[in-house]
Every structure is written in C-alpha cells, then in structure tokens.
Chain A
Amino acid sequence: MDLKDLYQEIILDHGKNPRNLGKFDNYNKDAKGNNPLCGDNVHVYLRLNENKKVEDIAFEGHGCAISMASASIMTDMVRGKEEKEVKEIVTDFLGMIKEKDSLETNILKDDEKTKLMSLSGVKQYPMRVKCATLSWHTLTSALDNSDQIVKTED
C-alpha cells in the first residue's frame, strides 16, 4: 500500500476545492446519500433537459478528501452527457473501483479516464471504497427518482 496512490495531487486538489459544490435553483432531480459509519453525507442535484441530457449538476455535503474529490470529479465528468451515457459511466466507474483494472467505456476521453483512475487507489483501502462510491450511488438514485436515501450500510 502506498499513500501516494491514494492521495494523489488531483485528489487533494478536488478534495480541497471541490468543483460544483452547492445547489442551483432549477434542478429537476436530486437525491441524498449517507455513510452512517462516519456521518458523511452528500446531496446531488441535477437538471435533465427534454433530450435527457444533464444540463447542470452540483452537490452539497461534507466528507473526507476521497469523497469530496470523487463527487467533484464525477459532477465535472457527467455534465453535458445523456442519461444513458451517465449510467454507463457510473457502472464502469463502480466496476473499476470494485474489481476491474481499467475503465472500458468509450464515452469518456482518455484524459477523463486518467482523471477518474486517480480514484483507483482506494481499492487498496477496503474501508475507504465507500467514500469514493457514495456520490456515484447517489447520482444513480437521483436519475431513478428514488425517494430512498442512499446508504453505504444496510
């Protein structure tokens, strides 16, 4: 294990200065997520237009560098994408965090993939995987209009 894999410069940067942090007025989908073990939480807001494209996305919440960076990078990455593309990216990301060595989707450009792969260091820290995945599960919940609050624990 190497801390440098976990706390890469890009993670520290997004963790310290998360992009898209806050809430905007005309969102039409949102969902909340909690990590009851540590008390971290996230609230994802997004606006899907008539063509099912993510026009805008933002999040509120607090958490560790990993969870903040993950939400920050995620929101950057899915803005402008269509709903089904977003879902493909989410599935690909979660697959990578859990088991796969790399990202497989063609939707993301190489530099975007590199950015996302900066989160792959959490694989070596099983207790921290939930920090990286919480906002992604919450995004899915928002898209699916689920009223259920996403929890990392059952």
Chain B
Amino acid sequence: MNIDDIKKEFPIFDDKIQNNDLVYLDSANSSQKPRVVVDRIYDFYTKEFSNVGRSVHYLAVAATNLYEQTRVSVQKYINAKDKDEIVFTKGATEAINLVANTFGQKYLSEGDEVLLTELEHHSNYVPWHFLRKAKNIKIEFAEINDDGEVTLEAIEKKITNKTKIISVSHLSNVTGAILPIKEIVELAHTKNIPVLIDGCQGAPHLRLDMQDIDCDFYAISGHKMYGPTGIGVLYAKKKWLEDLPPYQGGGGMINEVKKEGITYGELPNKYEAGTMATAQVIAFNESIKFMEKIGIQNIEKHEKELLDYGLEKLRKNNSVNIIGNPKEKGGVISFTIEGVHPHDIATILDEDGVAIRAGHHCCQILHDKLNLPATARASFGVYNTKDDIDKLDEAINKCKKIFNL
C-alpha cells in the first residue's frame, strides 16, 4: 500500500465538507476510518451478527471466533507474550480507570503516592484523583522542562519510598514529546514499582513491543488507530490480571454464581463483563491489518516527514509560536498566534476546511504550567500530506489578515 496514495482508502475524503476539500489535522483527537473498517461493521451487522461467548449456535460461534481473532491480532501487533494479556475496554479511558480502580483497591492506602507527569491527559489524572478522595493517597507530578518534555531524571526526582505506581503518557497530545518509557520502566522496576503507560497517542504512531518495553500496563484507544469508537485495549501482564480483583461485575465474567458466593471467570473474561462492543472489536481487527499492511515503520517515517515539514513551515510564519521543542516528538504541533485566541484560529481555519483542535486538549495541568489558557493544535495521521500543511499555513495567514496582524 503506497502511503502517498492512502487518502483514497478513507471515504470521508471522497466528498467536500462545507464546499471544501477536507484538511483533517485532528487525528490526535480521533482518526478518520478507512473503508475496510466501515465495511466490516456493516458486514458484521448485516450478515454475521450474534452476541459472543454464550450461545452455541452457528452465528454465535462464528462471532466469538472473530472477536477472539482481534485479540490475537492485537497481541501480535504489540508483541504481548500471551493473548490473555489483552483486555477489551470501551476505550483507553476505561483501561486506565480499570487499573486505577483495581490496583487502588488492592494496593493503595492512605499516604501512598501515585506518580504522574504534568503533561498527562485528564484521563490519566482524574481516575487517580478518585483514589485521592476515597483513600487519601497522594498524587505527584513529574515536571516538564522548557522543551515540553518529561525526562527520566524528572521522573526519578519524584520517586519516593511511598511511590506505589507510576502512570505516564507515551506521547504527549500537546507537545508531542515522546517519553523515555523503556528507561522509566527499567528504573521503576529496580524499585519494584509497576508502570502504566497511557498509549493513546503512542499506539497509532509508534512501533510497540510490550515484551521489550516491559511495562506492566499499556492503555490503547481504538478510535485513534483508524478503528471504531467504543473500543480500547488494556494490555496488562498476566500476573497483574490474575492478581487484581475484577473491575465490573456482570454476565460473562463469572465462573460460578451461588447465593453464598461467586467465583470469577478465567482471563480474559474476568475483565470483560456484559455484552462488549462486539462489532467494534471485530472491525478493530481491520484497523490493525490496515496499519500492518502499510507498515508501522512507514507510518512513523511518513509522519516524521510531515512533522519536520510542518515545523519548518510554521516556524517561518511570523507570529506563530510553537509549543514545546522536544527532541523526540510525534506528529503533533500545538501553537498560538500572538493576538488571536486559539478558538478564533480554529473557527477561521474551519472556514477553509482545515480541521484543527483548539482548547486545553484535556490537559489543564500542562496549560496552567505553560501559563496558556488554550492552544491550537494540528495533529497528523497516515492520510495527511504536505499539501495539507501548506493549506494550514495559508489558513493561518488568512487568520492573521482578519485580525490585522
């Protein structure tokens, strides 16, 4: 599959949006969907639908097999040791909540510390905040430096003998900084501290190898990986999934239910209570195959080229201020324009079909630190081209013109 020609695999680009060719620069928020994923959902519902894991009729068995095939695909894609280490969730948010809740229940008590960073998305802060309220634990934040990075040293500085778990982003959705997660895991493990990686922005753009990274937990968002909404993955080492209590109770996650007591099911069923997002899980397999077909190394290379081109272009554009300058950076450019609020930028860009995000991007702690209430953000996916960046640059110029800059 030729990456330069990939746009045509995505039906959203077939038609004009508000009379414009769509320049979609909001993939860090959610990616567009290739035809194979959309078709898979339609085909499953029209020709193959059944619930999974329960009935023994033909459709149920076939659907269960398809559902389990996605688990194996994910396992292989992220090089997990065992398919039972793959738990489907409704998204990365639920994956993090699952860990915070079950790990918190079993291992956290008053005065214990959870170590996050200042660049975390709210979904990797709020679930821990619940524990702060319920159990009186403490939350520490490793600091970002002037380049918008969190270094290994910054993490090390905040580790104490009270630190019980470290939970950090793989790739910042604001500064684009790629954290040294392998080194963080290595350091944490020397002190017997487990590590959760929020991989929302990592999984769609970077090669993943769970056995190499050696993290204890890794949270994945399906809809940012060209997959459907309503599907995420928690990777967790088997020892944790066996050790931690179940998260939600319901059908499918039990072994035996008696009036006197209940025993829970085997992995991975233990963490998949109730009817799961069956069609989405099955269609997610197509997203994985789609990315494999392009090749993650090609995706990384393509997005790096776009990033370098975008940074060069926007740096030349007077009055554009780029947020952060991390050495290792993913395809995210957050910026401000002196004298124009990010929301005004987004509205003006939208008029030309250039879709970006404006706001705090669910990272208020980071924006407080930067002393900015909001930023504008352009983020890339496989379908973006240099032409998209040229259009972004032109639209920014129009914005400056309207504001007489």
A128 and B343: CB pair below 8 A? yes
A12-B402, A37-B359 provided; 8 other pairs, C-beta below 8 A?
A: A3-B402, A7-B402, A16-B339, A16-B403, A38-B359, A66-B343, A66-B344, A68-B341
Question: What 0/1 pattern do residues 56 to 76 of A give for CB contact below 8 A with B?
Answer: 000000111110100000000
Interface of B is mostly: mixed
Residues of B within 8 A of A38 (CB): 342-343, 358-360, 373-374
CA distance A63 to B342 in the complex (A): 9
Question: What 0/1 pattern do residues 143 to 170 of B give for CB contact below 8 A with A?
Answer: 0000000000000000000000000000
A12 and B351: CB pair below 8 A? no
B373 and A62: CB pair below 8 A? yes
Q: CB of A31 within 8 A of chain B?
A: no
Pairs across A and B, CB under 8 Å, 7 listed? A3-B348, A3-B402, A7-B344, A12-B404, A38-B342, A38-B343, A38-B373
CA distance A65 to B345 in the complex (A): 10
CA distance A62 to B403 in the complex (A): 17
Q: Contact residue range for chain A?
A: 20 to 34
Q: CB of B51 within 8 A of chain A?
A: no
Question: Which one, B339, B348, B364, contacts A39 given CB within 8 A?
Answer: B364
Question: Which one, A41, A62, A128, contacts B347 given CB within 8 A?
Answer: A128
Question: What 0/1 pattern do residues 343 to 383 of B give for CB contact below 8 A with A?
Answer: 11001100100000011100010010000011000000000
**B399 CB, min distance to chain A CBs, angstroms:** 10
Of B358, B367, B374, most A-chain CB atoms within 10 Å: B374
A39 and B367: CB pair below 8 A? yes
Residues of B within 8 A of A41 (CB): 373
Residues of A within 8 A of B403 (CB): 7, 12, 16, 65
Question: What 0/1 pattern do residues 1 to 45 of A give for CB contact below 8 A with B?
Answer: 101001100001000100000000000000000000111110000
**B342 CB, min distance to chain A CBs, angstroms:** 8
B351 and A40: CB pair below 8 A? no
A3 and B359: CB pair below 8 A? no
**A26 CB, min distance to chain B CBs, angstroms:** 29
CA distance A83 to B245 in the complex (A): 58
CA distance A29 to B146 in the complex (A): 40
